[in-house]
């Protein structure tokens, strides 16, 4: 499975590089804390909503979940749809929170 390390992702975000973030956790998990700029579509809804999402197939897309398990089917689904660079967040939000918990957005 293609992955991106949290340190690599934060560097891209800090450099204002183009990155698309898709958080596939539940709405409650997302509201409790997510990466700024992430769009929330729970994995159980993704199949029905994927064609309505406005993502660029040529820009890095990073599906995110709690522990990098729910994001696996999201990576596969977007690759099947012809996305060129799809990588899940290595270790998910658990790993992100070890290093960048202070960078979370809460809603």
Q: How many CB atoms lie within 10 A of CB 68?
A: 20
Q: Which of 65, 74, 89, 93 is catalytic?
A: 65
Tell me, yes or no, if 79 is annotated catalytic: no
Q: What string of H, E and C letters represents the secondary structure of 37-55?
A: CCEECCHHHHHHHHHHCCC
Residue with tokens 């897309």: 61
Cα–Cα distance measured from residue 53 to residue 51, given in angstroms and rounded to the nearest whole number: 6
Under 8 Å between Cβ of 50 and 77 = yes
**DSSP bridge pairs for 88:** 3
Catalytic residues: 65
């Amino acid at each position: 499975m293609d992955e991106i390390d949290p340190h690599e992702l934060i560097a891209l975000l800090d450099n204002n590089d183009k990155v698309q973030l898709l958080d596939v956790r539940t709405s409650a998990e997302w509201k409790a804390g997510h990466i700024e700029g992430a769009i929330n579509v729970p994995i159980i809804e993704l199949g029905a909503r994927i064609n309505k999402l406005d993502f660029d197939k040529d820009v890095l897309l990073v599906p995110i979940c709690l522990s990098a398990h729910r994001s696996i089917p999201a990576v596969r689904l977007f690759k099947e749809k012809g996305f060129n660079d799809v990588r899940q967040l290595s270790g998910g939000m658990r790993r992100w929170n070890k290093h960048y918990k202070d960078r979370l957005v809460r809603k």
